[in-house]
Amino acid sequence: MKAMSKFWTALVVGVAVMIAAIPSWAGPLTTITLAQFTAWTAGGIAAPPIVHTFDFLPSGTDGDVASVVFYGAGAAAGLFVYVYQITHYSGSSEFNINGMSFDLLGPVILNPSLINPVLPATFAFQVSGTGDVDLNDATTYPIASTSPGSVSFTIPTLSPGQQTWLFGFFSPSPPTTVVAELRDTDRYASPLVYTPSPEPSVGIMFGLGLLGVPLFGVLRRRFAK
């Protein structure tokens, strides 16, 4: 019994150490120009824009998160380009928004520069001047691209009436949708956003809006800037 007890103790300690040792991939987003962004997304829309509103209770609608997925072109050819933008409505009495996170159901490209040196070395990017506020950083956990986890984006301060720059990342997988977690101080809202899909058929189903997601056949003004 003592030998068995020692075995289980060693196993639990070993697992705990392994879990603690799992790193995350974090760092500032690579800032790119609108021209670079246009070149990477020239392959066309892979999943039409969804614009999902959010509400930090108990007040009314406080803003929206727009997401769209493009077929990569140029340096990003062969990849899907996932793009997001958060808008905090003017007149809202809410606190400042400071971040968003959601699950990755499929892999992301952690170091796109290894695929093409023209692409950024950090996995996430933001497009300069496409809104009011740039983001601080992006993090994935865990870092293994073969083991989908989660992604989070940190915003310094997104006040009412402001909009983030366009931001996003690359994935070899087509999209599906998940519920994101948007942070407003110590409160949370749950808008719907695109995420890489483990199976193409699931991505196609969501992309066609068969689950009641409000899809738009044309790009919103924010993606046409």
What DSSP designation does 113 have?
G
Nearest to residue 221, comparing CAs of 163, 160, 135, 161?
A: 163
The pLDDT tens digits along the chain (225 residues) read 444 344 333 323 332 333 333 456 667 799 999 999 999 999 999 999 999 998 887 667 889 999 999 999 999 999 999 999 999 998 766 678 999 999 999 989 988 999 999 999 988 999 999 999 999 999 988 755 455 789 999 999 999 899 999 999 999 999 999 999 998 877 888 899 999 998 654 444 444 443 333 333 334 444 444
Q: Is residue 50 part of a domain?
A: yes
What is the rounded CA–CA span in Å between residue 221 and residue 153? Answer: 23
- In angstroms, the CA 11 to CA 34 distance is 51
Q: Which range of residues forms the domain containing residue 190? A: 23-223
SS3 74: helix
Domain annotation covers residue 10:
no
Asked whether the beta carbons of 105 and 198 are under 8 A apart, the reply is yes
Torsion 126-131-137-138 (CA) sign: negative
Task: With respect to residue 134, please indicate whether it lies within any of the assigned structural domains.
Answer: yes
12, amino acid identity: V
Residue 75 lies in a domain: yes
- Per the structure, the count of domains in the chain is 1
DSSP letter string, 23-73: --EEEPPEEE-HHHHHHHTTT-EEEEEEEEEE--TTSS--EEEEEEEEE--
Q: Residue 9 falls within a domain, yes or no?
A: no
- Domain assignment of residue 173, yes or no: yes
Sign of CA dihedral 99, 105, 107, 112: negative
Cα atoms in the 13 Å half-sphere on the side-chain side of 217: 0
| Global pTM value | 0.79
Q: Is the residue at 121 inside a domain? A: yes
Q: For residue 168, tell me if it sits in a domain.
A: yes
